[in-house]
Amino acid sequence: MTRELSRNEFLKAMISGGMAFTFSNVARSASSAPQARPNFVVVLSDDHACRSVGYSNPVVQTPHLDRLGREGVIFEQASIATPICAASRASLLTGLYPQQHGTIALDSGGFLENVVKNQRFPTVARLLSEAGYDTAFCGKSHLGPPREYGFAEGEESRDTSDDDAFAFAERFIERRKEKETPFFLWVAARQPHIPLQPPPEWLERYRDVDIPIDPNFLESPPSGSVYNQGLPGEQYYRDSEAKNSIGNLSAGPPRTKEQIREFTRAYYAVISRLDHQIGGLVEKLQTTGVQENTVFIYLSDNGYHLGNHGLGNKITMHEESVRIPMLLHWPGLSRKGVRIPALVSSVDLFPTLLDLAGVPAPEGLAGLSFKPVLEEPGASLRSYVASECVGVGGKRGMGHRMVRTVRWKYILTDKNEELLFDEQADTYEMENVAGREAYHETLVQLRGYMREWMARVGDTHTLPPDA
């Protein structure tokens, strides 16, 4: 009991002090429960936007994710450390922000140097392997061979349908019936990343469905947009007419409302197929009896703009890009069927898995275990979360970073543009109030959080003013 009290006091101190932490002592004290260590199945999708899941949007058919959410918990304010594939995966695996582990965009060089070669930072896979977990990987790596960064089994799959990855995962689960040791299975699906290739039977499900358009949809970015998503001719350039024509869904979303509806139908169809594959994996967990002691987590490596703010792709600090669908299912949960409003981040996954496994966390992780909000879903975890994308276009100078509280989001670009959004009154982030006197106090507070976070991760860009 005493240990629990000190743990709560510690967390309260963390909340009031922002996100300064070393979580190792907490992780140690949390391992006292005399129960079998849980298994972990993490299904990580690629570019799944937060509003494109059935439990948030009834147009999207994801019955399996919806059920997992009803029987588990849904995180309503989950942010990704960075909205770009390789860097985001590196952050999930290391529990660090990109500027800390060194892979800031699509180039995996920093991760390979700091994590694979020099082992300056452990991955969650390596620590769980060392703690006696059987670890396995399938799907998309983006960071080289997974066995080189801590997984004992499995390899990258190039199959864009993800059938290979889910077949591997189901075979892996089937074998668990015979084993006593806990396991950690990482299923990194490639869907719903472009090119969208929905089989006709899945596309058919959306053929006559009316696709609502978000209120922040624009046919192209407004002049002066802080987000230039690339240069004409580059793969993701929003306004590349040639690549955005209907019938070629390999590039970012096309321009008009009708075109975005067509793109979105294909996008939802791919998400529904992924949901079906997830359903198969969950059924395997059930029929093998493995589910009883398995923590199942679903999340995406970043979101996606479906024409929101006139943009496609991700790599922005808008909600469409940095907020992700995320849920946790575990028969051992004390509270089920709840939506958790606390601010959580993808860098929290590492310390949370270690916490649930009773494995001490290393010093200096960027995130917090969110186990406390599993036990008390209404509790707060921290004052703010941060996200960064400082390697846009593979180079410095076009980047941006954000800090977000429950109510406010502050964005700072490499050109020192500032944006402030009221996330309660302006969910779609259509009105930047950074320059208004009435919000100056809030702006100064958020600037302070930004300064604190930038110092912590070693962001070398000029700090925002302190007044």
Of 301 and 418, the one with the shorter C-beta distance to Ca ion is 301
CB 189 to Ca ion: min, Å: 10
Determine the interface stretch with Ca ion among 22-30, 199-207, 294-302, 455-463 (rule: CB under 5 A): 294-302
Determine the interface stretch with Ca ion among 23-31, 41-49, 54-62, 447-455 (rule: CB under 5 A): 41-49
> With binding defined as CB under 5 A, does residue 47 bind Ca ion?
yes
Question: Distance between CA 289 and CA 314 in Å, rounded?
Answer: 38
CB 55 to Ca ion: min, Å: 21
> With binding defined as CB under 5 A, does residue 320 bind Ca ion?
no
Structure tokens at 374: 């599993």
Of 89 and 273, the one with the shorter C-beta distance to Ca ion is 89
Helix axes 349-357, 85-94, angle to 10 degrees: 30
Select the residue interacting with Ca ion from 301, 388, 429, 452 (CB under 5 A). Answer: 301
CB 302 to Ca ion: min, Å: 5
Determine the interface stretch with Ca ion among 215-223, 300-308, 366-374, 432-440 (rule: CB under 5 A): 300-308
DSSP 234-286: STT-TT-HHHHSTT-TTSS--SSHHHHHHHHHHHHHHHHHHHHHHHHHHHHHH
Question: Distance between CA 384 and CA 206 in Å, rounded?
Answer: 38
The residue nearest Ca ion at its CB is 85
Determine the interface stretch with Ca ion among 55-63, 85-93, 127-135, 420-428 (rule: CB under 5 A): 85-93
> With binding defined as CB under 5 A, does residue 46 bind Ca ion?
yes
Determine the interface stretch with Ca ion among 45-53, 125-133, 280-288, 345-353 (rule: CB under 5 A): 45-53
Q: Which amino acid is at 37?
A: R
CB 48 to Ca ion: min, Å: 8
> With binding defined as CB under 5 A, does residue 49 bind Ca ion?
no
Question: Distance between CA 419 and CA 222 in Å, rounded?
Answer: 15
Residue 17: CB atoms within 10 Å = 12
Question: Distance between CA 457 and CA 14 in Å, rounded?
Answer: 17
Residue span 230-269 as binding mask against Ca ion, x where in contact by CB under 5 A, dash where not: ----------------------------------------
CB 85 to Ca ion: min, Å: 4
**How far is CA 440 from each of CA 414, 428, 429, 460, 466, rounded to the nearest angstrom?**
21, 21, 18, 25, 12
DSSP H or E stretch at residue 129: helix 124-130
> With binding defined as CB under 5 A, does residue 302 bind Ca ion?
yes
Query: 238 CB contacts (<8 Å, ≥6 apart)?
Result: 220, 221, 229, 230, 244, 252, 253, 310, 311, 312, 313
Determine the interface stretch with Ca ion among 83-91, 107-115, 237-245, 340-348 (rule: CB under 5 A): 83-91
Number of residues that bind Ca ion (CB under 5 A): 5
Beta-sheet pairing, 183-188 with 134-139: parallel
Select the residue interacting with Ca ion from 78, 85, 226, 386 (CB under 5 A). Answer: 85
Question: Distance between CA 381 and CA 355 in Å, rounded?
Answer: 15
- Which residues make up the interface to Ca ion (CB under 5 A)? 46-47, 85, 301-302
